[in-house]
C-alpha cells in the first residue's frame, strides 16, 4: 500500500482493553499543517476540548489515539490526563509538547488510565513503521473490520498521497463513543486551506453518514499534511486545492461507506441518493433522513423494496423543515429498478427481492424540483442491533486498575436474551438426548489444570441433559515426562509410541494410576458419583494383540481385537460415565499400551455411538495452516495420502476412517485447549472444529 512520505504509524496493546490493541500513534518526521473537525455534541470528551482549541495549526507532529476509554465526562482530571498523555508521547518522540494532539474512544465517564499510556509510550514510539495497519487495528472498538484507505493525486508535477485510518460507528450503546479518523498526507498545504478541504470532505462523507442517529461525545477527524510531496504549497483556492479536495472527498467517502457497512449489527450498506431537490443542502438533509429512518432500515434488512417508507421519511423531513417538494411527484428506484413514478409501478417482486439480498442497497429518489443532489450512507437495522444494544452496557465492567472488561456471563444479560438462548439450547438438547458419544481427550490438550476442569464440567453437563458420554483419555506428554524423569526416553514411529516392557509399567502407572483417577475425581467432584474409571484390562473391556506396523517392532504396543460390549452396556444402562484408560489385556495374557485414538474408535463402533469426538491440541484438521471445517472420508484419505496429515494426527485419521466405514455417522475433531469446545461443537449449527462424515 502506498503511503505518504515521512509518515509512520504504530499500534499496540497498552492494557486499556483486556485482550486487544488499544493504543495507536500517527507520526510525521517533519512538522505538519493540521486541521480537525469535531463532534457538535456539547458533552465533549476531554481530548476533543483540547484539540479543538489548538487546530488548525502549524507544527503538529503526531496524533496519539486510545480505544477502550473515551475520556469523556471525566471532569478536570480528564483534561489533566490529556496533557499527561500528550507530554509523554512528545517526550518520547523528542518533539515539543504542543506538537502532539490526542483522541480517545470507548466507554464514557470512566477515568482514563493515563499511566498505562505513559508507560507504553517508549514501546509505541519504538515500533513506528511506514505501515498504518497496526494503528488502524488499535483504534477499533466495536468495529468488525479495519478501515484503511489511500488515494494519490497529481498536483503540479508532483504525486501527492493521502492515507486515512478510521474507526466506525458501532454505536452499540449511547455510552460508547463513535468515529475517529486521521488523514495523513504529504501534500504541501497551509492549515487554513487544509481546514477548508477537510470541512468540505466531511460534508460529503462522514456528515452524510448515519448508523443510529446518536451523536458521539468523541467524534473527531484529523488531517495532517507534512509537505514532503514537494508540490507548490497550496495557500489559496484554485485548481490545486480542487485536485487535493477531490482526492480527500473520495477517500473520506470510501471510509464513510465502510463505516456504514460495518455499523452495529449491519448486514447491508444502504446508499441513498436524492436528486432534483431545490438545493444541495436540502438533498443532503432528505437523503440522511431516509437513510436514518428505522422503518426504511428495517425494510432493507428484510429485503423488502418498501418505497412507501422511503417517501414517507422524505415527506416527514420536508414537512417539518419546510422544503418545497412534493413526494407524490417523485420517482423512486431501488437497486436501479423503478418502483414508483408519480404512481406505484408494476415490477417483478421476486427479481427485486433477490437483488435486495446484495450487500449494498441503492435507493434513488428524484424529486423533480431542481438541481440539488446529494448522497447519504447508512445500514440496515437487524435483530442483532437490538439484541446487542439491549445487553451491551450491562456487560461492560470497570476493572480496579482503570481498564474496562466485558463480563458476558449469562447472568448479566437481559431476561429476554436468556430466554431466547435457552429455547435455542433446548432444541439441541432434544436432538442429542439419549445419544451415545465417545469422547477422546487428548494428552496434549490436558496439560492445563483449568482445562481438565472445564472438560469435566462439560461432560457433566452433557450427562445432565441426557447424552451418554464415554471418555477415553490419552496421556502422552505426562508419560513422556515421567519416563524422562526416570532416565528413559520416548520414541515414536508415525505418532505411535514405542513401549518396551519396563516402559509399560510407567505407562500403566501414569494412565491408569494417575490420569484416570484424576479425571474420575474431577468428574465426581460435584458429589454425584457417575464416573467410573476403568482400565481396558478391567472386565476384559479391551482385548488386544501385539501391533505390527509396517514390519517395525513397537514393543508392548497393541491393537484392539475385541471389546467387551456387554460390560460397557451395563455401565451405560446404569447411567454411569465410563472413563477408560487405553491399556488392553492381551489374548496372550500380557498387557498392551494402545493408542487412545484407536481405543476410542473401537469403543464407538462396539456400542454403536452416534458421535465420536477427538479433543486434541489443534483447532481441527489443518491444511497449510487453515482449518478444514467439514470433510468426508474421501477428503480425509486424500489428506493422509498427500502427507498433509502426519504425526499424531495420522493415528486419529486412520481411526476416523475405520469408524465411519463401520457405521458411526459423524466424527468431530476439536481444540481441547479451548474451554467448552465440546459444547460449542454440539450446540451450534456450524460447530467449532472439523466435522467428518462418511
Residues in contact with ligand ADP by CB under 6 A are 442-445, 474, 476, 495, 597, 616-618, 621-622, 644-649
Task: Tell me how far apart the alpha carbons of residues 143 and 581 are, in angstroms, rounded to a whole number.
Answer: 47
Question: What is the spatial distance between Cα 394 and Cα 412, in angstroms, rounded to a whole number?
Answer: 6
Q: Is 170 in the site for Mg ion (CB under 5 A)?
A: no
> At closest approach, how far in Å is the CB of 450 from ligand ADP?
18
- Measured from the CB atom, the residue of 226 and 516 that comes closer to ligand ADP is 516
In the bound state, the residue with its beta carbon closest to Mg ion is 648
Give per-residue burial for 220-241: e unless 16+ CB within 10 Å, then b. Answer: bbbbbbbbbbbbeebeeeeebb
Q: Tell me how far apart the alpha carbons of residues 650 and 314 are, in angstroms, rounded to a whole number.
A: 64
Nearest to 184 by CA among 198, 169, 167: 198
Chosen from ligand ADP, Mg ion, none, partner binding at 649 (C-beta under 5 to 8 Å by type): ligand ADP
48 binds, among Mg ion, ligand ADP, none (CB under 5 to 8 A by kind): none
The Cα–Cα gap between 415 and 539 comes to 50
Please list every residue from 596 through 655 that binds Mg ion, using CB under 5 A: 648
In whole angstroms, how close is the CB of 672 to Mg ion at the nearest point? 11
Residue 128 has, within 13 A of its CA and on its CB side, a CA count of 19
Determine the number of helices (DSSP H) and then strands (DSSP E) in the chain.
21, 31
* DSSP symbol at 495: T
Which of 519, 649 has the CB closer to ligand ADP? Answer: 649
The angle formed by the CA atoms of residues 253, 257 and 262, to the nearest 5 degrees, is 150
Find out whether 617 and 673 touch, Cβ atoms under 8 Å.
yes
- Residue 617: which of ligand ADP, Mg ion, none does it interact with, CB under 5 to 8 A by kind? ligand ADP
φ and ψ of 184, to 5 deg: -110, 135
C-alpha cell at 667: 466424527
Residue 644 contact among Mg ion, ligand ADP, none, beta carbon within 5 to 8 Å by kind? ligand ADP
Q: How many CA atoms lie within 13 A of 466 on its CB side?
A: 10
575 contact, one of ligand ADP, Mg ion, none, CB 5-8 Å limit per kind: none
Question: Nearer Cβ to ligand ADP, position 31 or 477?
Answer: 477
User: What's the Cα-to-Cα distance from 164 to each of 9, 178, 537, 608, rounded to whole Å?
Assistant: 11, 16, 67, 59
**Phi, psi at 72, each rounded to 5°:** -115, 140
Spatial contact of 361 and 334, defined as CB atoms under 8 Å apart: yes
Name which of 43 and 646 has its Cβ closer to Mg ion: 646
Least gap, CB of 629 to ligand ADP (angstroms): 13
CB of 611 to ligand ADP, least distance (A): 17
Least spacing, CB of residue 622 vs Mg ion, in Å: 15
Contact 246, 254 (CB under 8 A): no
Distance CA 188, CA 274 (A): 35
**Which of the choices ligand ADP, Mg ion, none does residue 621 contact, using the CB cut-off of 5 to 8 A by kind?**
ligand ADP
Cβ-based nearer residue to ligand ADP, 172 or 645: 645
Q: Pick the closest to residue 35 from 176, 201, 171, 261 (CA basis).
A: 201
Residues in 523-542 at the binding interface with Mg ion, rule: CB under 5 A:
none
Angle at 136 between CA 133 and CA 141, to 5 degrees: 140
Are the beta carbons of 143 and 170 closer than 8 angstroms? yes
Give the chain's end-to-end CA distance (angstroms, integer). 45
| Catalytic pick among 39, 163, 178, 364 | 178
- Is 334 in contact with 356 (CB distance < 8 Å)? yes
Q: Which does 459 bind (CB under 5 to 8 A by kind): Mg ion, ligand ADP, none?
A: none
Answer whether the bond into residue 56 is a cis peptide, omega within 30°.
yes
| Residue 223 dihedral angles phi and psi, to the nearest 5° | -130, 130
Beta strands in 205-295, from DSSP E residues, in sequence order: 220-225, 269-277
Q: Closest separation between CB of residue 443 and ligand ADP, Å?
A: 4
Q: How far is the CB of 480 from ligand ADP (least distance, A)?
A: 11
Smallest distance from ligand ADP to CB 594, Å: 13
**Shortest Cβ distance from residue 625 to Mg ion (Å)?**
20
DSSP H helices, 608-646, are 633-641
- Give the helix/strand (H/E) hosting 191: helix 191-204
> Closest CB to ligand ADP among 122 and 647?
647
Site size for Mg ion, by CB under 5 A?
Answer: 1
Scan for cell 422511503, then name that residue. Answer: 310
Q: Which one, 389 or 644, has the nearer CB to ligand ADP? A: 644
Give me the residue whose beta carbon is nearest to ligand ADP: 648
**Does an H or E element contain 553, and which?**
strand 552-563
When CB distances are held under 5 to 8 angstroms depending on the partner's kind, the choice from ligand ADP, Mg ion, none that residue 444 binds is ligand ADP
Query: SS3 for 666?
Result: strand
CB of residue 616 to Mg ion, shortest distance in Å: 7
Task: Give the one entry of Mg ion, ligand ADP, none that residue 212 binds, where binding means its C-beta sits below a cut-off of 5 to 8 angstroms depending on kind.
Answer: none
Say which DSSP state 43 is in.
Answer: S
Is 327 or 648 the residue whose CB approaches Mg ion more closely?
A: 648
The smaller minimum CB distance to ligand ADP, of residues 293 and 581, is found at 581
Residue 178 a catalytic site member: yes
User: 283 or 653: whose CB is closer to ligand ADP?
Assistant: 653
In whole angstroms, what is the distance from residue 622 CA to residue 478 CA?
A: 25
CA 549 to chain centre: 44
Question: Cell 509512520, residue?
Answer: 8
- Residue 124 CB, shortest distance to ligand ADP, in Å, is 36
CA–CA distance, 323 with 317 (Å, rounded to integer): 8
Smallest separation (angstroms) from ligand ADP to the CB of 630: 15
| Partner from ligand ADP, Mg ion, none contacting 56, C-beta within 5 to 8 A by type | none
Of 556 and 616, the one with the shorter C-beta distance to ligand ADP is: 616
DSSP 3-state assignment of 168? coil
Residue 575 three-state SS: coil
Q: Which is nearer to ligand ADP, 131 or 635 (CB)?
A: 635
**Residue 647 interacting entry, from ligand ADP, Mg ion, none, C-beta within 5 to 8 Å by type:** ligand ADP
> Which one of ligand ADP, Mg ion, none interacts with residue 533, CB within 5 to 8 A by kind?
none
Q: Which residues bind Mg ion (CB under 5 A)?
A: 648
Task: Show which residues are catalytic.
Answer: 178
Amino acid at each position: 500500500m502506498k503511503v505518504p512520505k515521512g509518515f509512520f504509524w504504530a499500534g499496540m496493546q497498552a492494557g486499556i482493553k483486556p485482550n486487544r490493541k488499544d493504543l495507536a500513534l500517527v507520526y510525521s518526521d517533519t512538522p505538519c499543517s493540521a486541521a480537525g473537525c469535531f463532534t457538535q455534541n456539547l458533552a465533549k470528551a476531554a481530548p476533543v476540548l483540547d484539540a479543538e482549541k489548538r487546530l488548525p495549526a502549524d507544527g503538529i507532529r503526531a496524533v496519539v489515539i486510545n480505544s477502550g476509554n473515551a475520556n469523556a465526562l471525566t471532569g478536570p482530571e480528564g483534561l489533566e490526563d490529556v496533557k499527561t498523555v500528550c507530554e509523554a508521547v512528545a517526550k518520547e518522540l523528542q518533539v515539543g509538547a504542543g506538537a502532539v494532539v490526542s483522541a480517545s474512544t470507548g466507554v464514557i465517564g470512566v477515568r482514563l488510565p493515563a499511566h498505562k499510556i505513559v508507560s507504553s509510550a517508549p514501546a509505541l514510539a519504538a515500533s513506528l513503521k511506514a505501515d498504518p495497519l497496526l494503528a488502524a487495528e488499535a483504534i477499533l472498538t466495536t468495529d468488525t473490520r479495519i478501515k484503511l484507505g489511500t488515494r494519490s493525486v497529481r498536483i503540479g508535477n508532483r504525486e501527492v498521497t493521502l492515507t486515512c485510518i478510521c474507526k466506525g460507528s458501532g454505536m452499540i450503546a449511547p455510552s460508547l463513543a463513535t468515529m475517529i479518523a486521521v488523514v495523513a498526507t504529504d501534500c504541501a498545504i497551509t492549515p487554513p486551506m487544509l481546514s477548508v478541504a477537510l470541512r468540505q470532505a466531511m460534508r460529503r462523507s462522514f456528515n452524510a453518514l448515519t448508523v443510529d442517529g446518536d451523536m458521539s461525545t468523541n467524534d473527531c477527524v484529523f488531517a495532517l499534511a507534512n509537505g514532503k510531496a514537494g508540490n507548490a504549497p497550496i495557500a489559496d483556492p484554485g485548481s490545486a486545492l480542487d485536485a487535493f479536495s477531490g482526492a480527500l472527498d473520495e477517500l473520506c467517502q470510501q471510509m464513510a461507506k465502510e463505516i456504514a457497512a460495518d455499523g452495529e449489527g449491519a448486514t447491508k450498506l444502504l446508499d441513498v441518493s436524492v436528486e432534483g431537490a431545490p438545493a444541495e443542502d436540502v438533498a443532503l438533509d432528505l437523503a440522511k433522513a431516509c437513510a436514518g429512518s428505522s422503518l426504511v432500515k428495517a425494510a432493507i434488512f428484510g429485503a423488502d423494496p418498501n418505497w412507501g417508507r422511503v417517501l414517507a421519511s422524505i415527506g416527514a423531513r420536508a414537512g417539518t423543515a419546510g422544503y418545497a417538494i412534493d413526494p407524490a411527484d417523485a420517482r423512486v428506484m431501488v437497486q436501479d429498478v423503478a418502483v414508483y413514478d408519480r404512481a406505484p409501478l408494476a415490477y417483478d417482486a421476486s427479481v427485486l427481492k433477490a437483488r435486495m439480498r446484495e450487500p449494498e442497497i441503492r435507493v434513488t429518489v428524484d424529486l423533480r424540483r431542481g438541481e440539488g443532489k446529494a448522497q447519504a450512507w447508512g445500514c440496515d437495522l437487524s435483530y442483532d442491533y437490538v439484541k446487542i444494544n439491549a445487553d451491551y452496557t450491562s456487560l461492560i465492567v470497570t476493572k480496579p486498575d482503570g481498564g474496562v472488561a466485558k463480563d458476558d456471563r449469562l447472568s448479566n444479560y437481559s431476561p429476554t436474551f436468556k430466554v431466547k438462548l435457552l429455547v435455542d439450547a433446548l432444541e439441541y438438547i432434544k436432538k442429542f438426548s439419549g445419544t451415545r458419544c465417545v469422547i477422546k481427550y487428548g494428552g496434549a490438550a490436558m496439560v492445563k489444570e483449568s482445562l481438565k476442569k472445564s472438560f469435566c464440567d462439560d461432560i457433566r453437563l452433557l450427562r445432565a441433559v441426557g447424552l451418554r458420554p464415554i471418555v477415553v483419555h490419552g496421556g502422552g506428554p505426562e508419560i513422556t515426562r515421567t519416563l524422562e524423569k526416570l532416565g528413559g526416553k520416548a520414541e515414536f514411529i508415525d505418532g505411535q509410541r514405542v513401549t518396551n516392557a519396563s516402559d509399560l509399567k510407567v505407562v500403566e502407572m501414569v494412565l491408569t494410576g494417575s490420569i484416570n483417577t484424576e479425571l474420575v475425581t474431577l468428574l465426581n467432584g460435584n458429589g454425584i458419583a457417575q464416573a467410573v474409571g476403568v482400565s481396558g484390562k478391567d472386565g476384559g473391556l479391551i482385548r488386544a494383540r501385539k501391533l505390527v506396523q509396517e514390519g517395525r517392532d513397537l514393543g508392548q504396543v497393541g491393537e484392539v481385537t475385541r471389546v467387551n460390549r456387554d460390560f460397557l452396556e451395563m455401565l451405560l444402562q446404569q447411567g454411569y460415565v465410563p472413563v477408560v484408560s487405553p491399556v488392553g489385556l492381551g489374548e496372550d495374557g500380557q498387557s498392551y499400551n494402545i493408542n487412545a485414538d484407536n481405543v476410542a474408535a473401537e469403543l464407538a463402533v462396539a456400542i454403536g455411538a452416534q458421535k465420536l469426538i477427538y479433543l486434541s491440541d489443534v483447532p481441527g484438521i489443518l491444511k497449510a495452516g487453515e482449518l478444514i471445517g467439514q470433510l468426508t472420508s474421501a477428503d480425509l484419505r486424500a489428506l493422509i495420502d498427500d502427507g498433509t496429515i502426519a504425526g499424531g494426527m495420522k493415528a486419529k485419521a486412520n481411526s476416523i476412517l475405520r469408524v465411519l466405514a463401520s457405521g458411526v455417522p459423524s466424527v468431530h475433531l476439536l481444540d481441547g485447549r479451548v474451554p467448552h469446545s465440546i459444547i460449542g461443537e454440539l450446540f451450534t449449527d456450524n460447530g467449532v472444529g472439523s466435522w467428518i462424515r462418511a
